[in-house]
C-alpha cells in the first residue's frame, strides 16, 4: 500500500464534521478502494474550545487556515469554511501555490475566482476538485466534466438550492410561514452562514455559473449582467395556491441555455407543471436536468444540502486524488475556456403566469387584453376571483378592492411581457405592478 494521503481540513462546521465522521466510519473501505489510507493530519476552525463531537486526538490544530494550507505535512487542503474571499480565498491560493491539491465545497469562492484558481491549479499540476459545491450529494460535476465529455449540451437547469426547495415544499404542503421554514432549514444545517444567499437566489446563481461553464466550455461568469437572479422572498402563499389550482408548482430554478445570442443564465421562481418530474422534487432534494445531443435528456436527483450528503461528495473528490486521478478543474484547460458572452436580453420564449390586482371598472379587462394583443401575447387562461367589498372605501367603485386576476400566457419573451405590463400599469387599470412567474416544461 502507498503512503497515507494526508489531509489538512479547514472548517469543522456542518460539512467538516460530517467529513471527519465519514472518514472515521468508512476509512478501511476507502483505503481498500484507493490503495492508500486517507488521514486527517491537521485541522483548523475559529473556536478551538468548542466540542464538535468528533475525535481530534493526534490531529494538529492550526488557528490560521493559510498556515494550515502551507503545512509541509499535508498533501491535500480541504476548504470547508465558506465565503467568496477572506480566509477561504487566501488559504486556497496558498495551498495551490504550495503545490497542494485542493478540495472545496465553496461555490461562492469558485463563482468569483474559479477561472483564476483553475489556471493556478493547472500551472502547478495539482487538482482543484469541487463536487460538493453544486447540488450537495449529486455527482453533477463528474457527470458534466467526465461522463458527458462526448456531448454538446444545450441546456442545464434545475433545483440547485436545498434550503429554498425545503422552504417552498413546507410552505405549500403545511402552510407554514416563510420565516418558520427558514429557521428550520438553518437548524438542519442546510442554509448558508448568511441565509440571504439562499433565499435571494445567489447561492443558486453561483452553482449555475459553475454548471454553465462546465456544460458550455465558457469562463465562469456570475456577474449581474450575465446572470439574472431573483430569489423566493416575494413568493406568497397566494402565488403557491394559485399555481396549485392551475396545475403548477413553484420551484426556484437555475437555468442555463445556449441560444443563438449567447449563453443565457437565469435564476428565478418558476412554475412547473405538476405532471413534470421536477415538480415532484420535494424538501431538501435537488434535481439537475441536462439536455445534450447524444444522451438526449438526463435528470439527476438527490440530497442537495446537509452535512452527510455534502461530505459524500467531498470524500469522492479526495478519493480521486488518493487514486492519482488528475483532471483539469473545468473539464478542459482553463486557458482554453471561451469568454462568456451574455445575450443582450432574455430571448428564450416561455409561457408566463401573471397576477394582477385589477380595478373593477368597465373596460378594464378589454384594455388589458388589448395591451397584450398589441405585443402578440395570446392568453391561455384567465382566472378571476371575487374579493370582499371594502367598507372604508370612499367611492362606489373603490368599495370593491382590486380584483385578483391570474393570466396564463402562451409563449412570449419576457421583454414583450414586461412591455405590456408596464403599459397596463400606466393605463391605470391595476393597483400595482403585476407579478409574473415564468412557466418551464421539462
Ligand atoms: P459552517 O457550519 O458555518 O462551518 C464553517 C466552518 O468554518 C466552522 O467550523 C468555522 O469555525 C470555520 N471557519 C469559518 N471562518 C473561518 C476562519 N476565518 N478561520 C478558520 N475557520 C473558519 O458551514 P458549512 O455549512 O459546513 O459550509 C462549509 C462550506 O460548504 C461552505 O462553502 C458552504 O457553502 C459549503 N456547502 C455547505 C453545504 C451544507 O449543506 N451546509 C452543502 C454544500 C456546500 P467555527 O466552527 O469555529 O466557527
Ligand atoms: N445552502 C445550500 C443549499 C447548501 O441550501 O442548497 C448546499 O450548497
Give 96's DSSP letter.
Answer: H
| C-alpha torsion sign, points 413, 260, 290, 201 | negative
The confidence score (pLDDT) of residue 345 equals: 62
Q: Report how far ligand 2's centroid is from the alpha carbon of 126 (Å).
A: 27
Cell of 11: 472548517
The confidence score (pLDDT) of residue 343 equals: 80
Run of H or E residues at 292: strand 285-292
State which of 67, 102, 133 marks the end of a domain: 133
Q: Report how far ligand 2's centroid is from the alpha carbon of 346 (Å).
A: 27
Which ligand 2 atom minimizes the distance to the CA of 305? 7
Identify whether 314 is part of a domain. Answer: no
Identify whether 255 is part of a domain. Answer: yes
- Residues 169, 278: one domain? yes
Name residue 264's beta-bridge partners.
257
- What residues flank ligand 2, with Cβ below 6 Å? 136, 161-163, 190-192, 198, 203, 304-305
Identify whether 336 is part of a domain. Answer: no
CA distance 25 to 336: 40
Residue 67 among the catalytic residues: no
pLDDT score of 348 more than 90: no
Report how far apart, in Å, the C-alpha atoms of 384 and of each of 361, 380, 381, 403 are: 14, 14, 10, 7
pLDDT tens for each residue of 180-212: 999 999 999 999 999 999 999 999 999 999 999
Q: Report how far ligand 2's centroid is from the alpha carbon of 33 (Å).
A: 29
The confidence score (pLDDT) of residue 400 equals: 61
- Residues 159, 217: one domain? yes
pLDDT score of 93 more than 90: yes
Cβ 311 under 6 angstroms from ligand 1: no
Which ligand 1 atom minimizes the distance to the CA of 10? 21
The confidence score (pLDDT) of residue 390 equals: 54
Using the structure block, give the residue that is written with the C-alpha cell 450528503.
Answer: 309
Counting DSSP H helices and E strands in the chain, the numbers are: 13, 16
Which ligand 2 atom minimizes the distance to the CA of 105? 8
Identify which of 364, 369, 363 has the alpha carbon closest to the alpha carbon of residue 402. 364
Which ligand 2 atom minimizes the distance to the CA of 134? 8
CA distance 365 to 229: 31
Cell of 82: 465558506
**φ and ψ of 407, to 5 deg:** -115, 140
Identify whether 65 is part of a domain. Answer: yes
The confidence score (pLDDT) of residue 96 equals: 98
Cβ 68 under 6 angstroms from ligand 1: no
Q: Which of 81, 130, 204 to mutate to test the pocket of ligand 1 (most atoms within 8 A of CB)?
A: 81
Q: Are 115 and 220 in contact (CB under 8 A)?
A: yes
State which of 251, 285, 303 marks the end of a domain: 303
Identify which of 1, 55, 9 has the alpha carbon closest to the alpha carbon of residue 314. 9
**pLDDT confidence band for 392 (50 / 70 / 90):** low
pLDDT score of 442 more than 90: no
The confidence score (pLDDT) of residue 398 equals: 52
Q: Report how far ligand 1's centroid is from the alpha carbon of 91 (Å).
A: 14
Cβ 399 under 6 angstroms from ligand 1: no
The confidence score (pLDDT) of residue 360 equals: 83
- State mean pLDDT over 311-335: 97
Identify whether 393 is part of a domain. Answer: yes
Q: Are 410 and 350 in contact (CB under 8 A)?
A: no
Report how far apart, in Å, the C-alpha atoms of 103 and of each of 79, 91, 188, 272, 321 are: 6, 12, 24, 35, 9
Cell of 209: 455559473
- Residues 108, 60: one domain? yes
Which ligand 2 atom minimizes the distance to the CA of 161? 6
pLDDT score of 344 more than 80: no
| Percent of residues, the chain, with pLDDT higher than 90 | 84
* Strand 153-159 with 248-259, pairing: antiparallel
The confidence score (pLDDT) of residue 393 equals: 52
Which range among 96-110, 190-204, 240-254 shows the weakest confidence by mean pLDDT? Answer: 240-254
pLDDT tens for each residue of 119-167: 999 999 999 999 999 999 999 999 999 999 999 999 999 999 999 999 9
Identify whether 392 is part of a domain. Answer: yes
- Residues 295, 402: one domain? no
Cell of 288: 439537475
pLDDT score of 307 more than 70: yes
Which amino acid residue places its CA nearest to atom 4 of ligand 2? 305
Out of 207, 274, 338, 418, which one is annotated catalytic? 207
- Residues 238, 118: one domain? no
Which amino acid residue places its CA nearest to atom 48 of ligand 1? 46
- State mean pLDDT over 5-14: 98
CA distance 249 to 213: 28
Q: What's the Rg (C-alpha) of the chain? A: 24
Read off the CATH number of the domain in which 206 is found: 3.30.360.10
The confidence score (pLDDT) of residue 396 equals: 54
Identify whether 435 is part of a domain. Answer: yes
Q: Report how far ligand 2's centroid is from the alpha carbon of 304 (Å).
A: 6
Cell of 340: 462568456
Cell of 156: 442545464
The confidence score (pLDDT) of residue 408 equals: 93
Q: In which domain, by residue range, is 361 found?
A: 346-439
**φ and ψ of 334, to 5 deg:** -60, -30
- State mean pLDDT over 18-40: 98
- Residues 84, 117: one domain? yes
Name residue 358's beta-bridge partners.
403, 430
Report how far apart, in Å, the C-alpha atoms of 14 and of each of 25, 46, 80, 395, 420 are: 17, 14, 9, 58, 47
The confidence score (pLDDT) of residue 170 equals: 96
- Residues 114, 151: one domain? no
Which of helix, strand or coil describes residue 84? coil
Q: Report how far ligand 2's centroid is from the alpha carbon of 40 (Å).
A: 25
Q: Report how far ligand 2's centroid is from the alpha carbon of 198 (Å).
A: 7
Identify whether 309 is part of a domain. Answer: no
**pLDDT confidence band for 347 (50 / 70 / 90):** low
- Residues 389, 356: one domain? yes
Read off the CATH number of the domain in which 366 is found: 3.30.70.260
Q: Which of 80, 92, 107, 109 to mutate to test the pocket of ligand 1 (most atoms within 8 A of CB)?
A: 80
State which of 303, 327, 357 marks the end of a domain: 303
- Residues 220, 283: one domain? yes
- Cβ within 8 Å of residue 114, ≥6 positions away: 210, 213, 220, 329, 330
CA distance 106 to 123: 21
Which of helix, strand or coil describes residue 143? helix
Which amino acid residue places its CA nearest to atom 18 of ligand 1? 87
**pLDDT confidence band for 419 (50 / 70 / 90):** very high
Domains in the chain: how many in total?
Answer: 3
Using the structure block, give the residue that is written with the C-alpha cell 480521486.
Answer: 320
Give 219's DSSP letter.
Answer: P
Q: Which of 136, 182, 252, 308 to mutate to test the pocket of ligand 2 (most atoms within 8 A of CB)?
A: 136
- Residues 123, 156: one domain? no
Which range among 57-61, 111-115, 261-265 shows the weakest confidence by mean pLDDT? Answer: 261-265
**Count of all residues that appear for the chain in the document:** 442
- Residues 47, 88: one domain? yes
- Residues 150, 195: one domain? yes
Amino acid at each position: 500500500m502507498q503512503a497515507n494521503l494526508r489531509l489538512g481540513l479547514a472548517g469543522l462546521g456542518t460539512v467538516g464534521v460530517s467529513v471527519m465522521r465519514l472518514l472515521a466510519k468508512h476509512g478501511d473501505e476507502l483505503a481498500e478502494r484507493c490503495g492508500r489510507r486517507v488521514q486527517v493530519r491537521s485541522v483548523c476552525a475559529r473556536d478551538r474550545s468548542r466540542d464538535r463531537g468528533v475525535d481530534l486526538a493526534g490531529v494538529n490544530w492550526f488557528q490560521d487556515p493559510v498556515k494550515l494550507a502551507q503545512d509541509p505535512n499535508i498533501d491535500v487542503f480541504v476548504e470547508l469554511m465558506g465565503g467568496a474571499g477572506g480566509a477561504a480565498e487566501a488559504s486556497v491560493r496558498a495551498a495551490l501555490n504550495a503545490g497542494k491539491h485542493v478540495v472545496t465545497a465553496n461555490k461562492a469562492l469558485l463563482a468569483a475566482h474559479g477561472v483564476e484558481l483553475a489556471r493556478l491549479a493547472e500551472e502547478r499540476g495539482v487538482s482543484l476538485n469541487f463536487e460538493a459545491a453544486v447540488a450537495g450529494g449529486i455527482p453533477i460535476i463528474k457527470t458534466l466534466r467526465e461522463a458527458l465529455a462526448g456531448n454538446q449540451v444545450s441546456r442545464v437547469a434545475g433545483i440547485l438550492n436545498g434550503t429554498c426547495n425545503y422552504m417552498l415544499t413546507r410552505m405549500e404542503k403545511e402552510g407554514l410561514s416563510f420565516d418558520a421554514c427558514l429557521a428550520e432549514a438553518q437548524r438542519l444545517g442546510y442554509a448558508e452562514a448568511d441565509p440571504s444567499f439562499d433565499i435571494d437566489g445567489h447561492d443558486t446563481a453561483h452553482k449555475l455559473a459553475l454548471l454553465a461553464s462546465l456544460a458550455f466550455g465558457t469562463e465562469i461568469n456570475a456577474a449581474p449582467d450575465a446572470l439574472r437572479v431573483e430569489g423566493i422572498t416575494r413568493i406568497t402563499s397566494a402565488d403557491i395556491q394559485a399555481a396549485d389550482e392551475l396545475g403548477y408548482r413553484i420551484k426556484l430554478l437555475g437555468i442555463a441555455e445556449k441560444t443563438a445570442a449567447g449563453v443565457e443564465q437565469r435564476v428565478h421562481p418558476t412554475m412547473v407543471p405538476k405532471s413534470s418530474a421536477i415538480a415532484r422534487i420535494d424538501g431538501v432534494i435537488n434535481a439537475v436536468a441536462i439536455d445534450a445531443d447524444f444522451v438526449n435528456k438526463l435528470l439527476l436527483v438527490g440530497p442537495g444540502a446537509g452535512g452527510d450528503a455534502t461530505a459524500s461528495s467531498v470524500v469522492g473528490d479526495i478519493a480521486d486524488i488518493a487514486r492519482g486521478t488528475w483532471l483539469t478543474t473545468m473539464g478542459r484547460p482553463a486557458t482554453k475556456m471561451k469568454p462568456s458572452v451574455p445575450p443582450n436580453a432574455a430571448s428564450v420564449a416561455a409561457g408566463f403566469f401573471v397576477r394582477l390586482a385589477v380595478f373593477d371598472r368597465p373596460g378594464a379587462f378589454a384594455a388589458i387584453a388589448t395591451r397584450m394583443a398589441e405585443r402578440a401575447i395570446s392568453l391561455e387562461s384567465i382566472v378571476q376571483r371575487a374579493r370582499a367589498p371594502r367598507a372604508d372605501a370612499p367611492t362606489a367603485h373603490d368599495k370593491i378592492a382590486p380584483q385578483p386576476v391570474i393570466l396564463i400566457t402562451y409563449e412570449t419573451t419576457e421583454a414583450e411581457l414586461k412591455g405590456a405590463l408596464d403599459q397596463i400599469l400606466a393605463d391605470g387599470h391595476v393597483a400595482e405592478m403585476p407579478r409574473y412567474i415564468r412557466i418551464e416544461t421539462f
